[in-house]
Amino acid sequence: MMKAIIGTRIAVLLLLCTTFWLGAPTRNAVADQLPVQEVTVGIPPLAYLAKRIGGEFVKVTTLIPAGQDPHSFEPSPGLVAGLSRSTLYFSLDMPFERTLLARVAAGSGPKIVEAGRGIAKLPMPEHHHDHDQSEEQDHGHGELDPHIWLGPEQLLIIVQRVATGLREQDPARTAFYLANQRQLQHEIEALHSRLGQLLAPLAGRTIYVYHPAFGYFTDAYGLRQQAVEIGGKTPTPRQLINLIERARHDGVRVIFVQPQFDRKSAATVAQAINGKVVPLDPLAEDVIANLTEIATRIHEALGDPVEEPGRTDQRP
């Protein structure tokens, strides 16, 4: 009799435990039932990072479309109002963001995450001016380079900041975000190593670009950049002559130009040195693929053509 009672109690207990276990959702099940996070970023490369880390749990809106110059971007009132639908805004402290986020802070808007916090910014490169150029024409001094996503070490910090922002806003999906963060950082570290080997023979060489957007990239691999534009403006005829003479002295045959800018000045220099204009986009969304593209185009311009270094890692 006693054995029967004990057996019945054990059976009931097992049934209750099974019912509880089946009814209690797992951590993944809980996360799947939560709403998707509405995230806004300023530029396409940051959108890529948010999508890679957030996966299907984020919906990313990019303020600056492909091909538009962030330096001249002005947020409309409608765009500012639309930010109220986002839960997070990842900022890189771009010049246009300072005005935008000041408006957002005045009302109800998303939580602002400084994705570039902790990154020591480089000064914008000094420009080679004519001796008679007035001080008022010199807009390059005192400015900091905002193109931090083009440096691999800086990119690792940005990835960490984005992942932390997502985890803090959405802790139920912490394991998912953390796994994607680690995978992405591993890809960047492996890429940095490969590009370092590719560009090491070119250390000390100078690339000519229309707009000096590649300072963090060139700094990472021992290169230098020389801008065609002067203080953010189209060069004067005399400045162009000086630049052409300098390019000839440096043995330059390629001028890199970004699609966001007018290529006329770059084309003038290229024609004068019997060279060519090659597009190079600092704002391409897939920033990892773009770092490979930048390195390959630089190697082709300064060294022997090579096959593009492939990735050894796959996305999750």
In 3D space, the residue among 190, 220, 126, 166 whose CA is nearest the CA of residue 36 turns out to be 166
Residue 108, token pair as written in the block? 């109800």
Low-confidence ranges of the chain (pLDDT < 50): 1-6, 8-27, 127-141, 305-309, 311-316
Is the fold of 34-120+141-194 the same as that of 203-302? yes
Q: Determine the pLDDT at residue 262.
A: 74
Judged by phi (left if over 0) then psi (alpha if -120 to 50, else beta), residue 222 lies in left
**Spatial separation of the C-alpha atoms in residues 233 and 249, rounded to whole Å:** 23
The model's pLDDT over 125-142, given as tens digits with 9 standing for 90+, comes to 754 444 333 333 334 446
Is 254:276 a contact under the CB 8 Å cutoff?
A: yes
The model's pLDDT over 197-223, given as tens digits with 9 standing for 90+, comes to 999 999 999 999 988 999 999 999 999
Q: Determine the pLDDT at residue 6.
A: 47
Is 174:71 a contact under the CB 8 Å cutoff?
A: no
Q: Determine the pLDDT at residue 12.
A: 40
Average pLDDT of every residue of the chain: 82
Residues whose CB falls within 8 Å of the CB of residue 86, separated by 6 or more in sequence, listed in order: 38, 39, 40, 61, 109, 110
Helices and strands: H and E segment counts in the chain:
11, 8
pTM greater than the 0.75 cutoff: yes
CATH of 34-120+141-194, one of 3.30.1360.120, 3.50.50.60, 3.40.50.1980, 3.40.50.300: 3.40.50.1980
Q: Determine the pLDDT at residue 140.
A: 43
**Domain ranges (residues) in the chain:** 34-120+141-194, 203-302
Domain 203-302 falls in which CATH fold?
A: Rossmann fold (3.40.50)
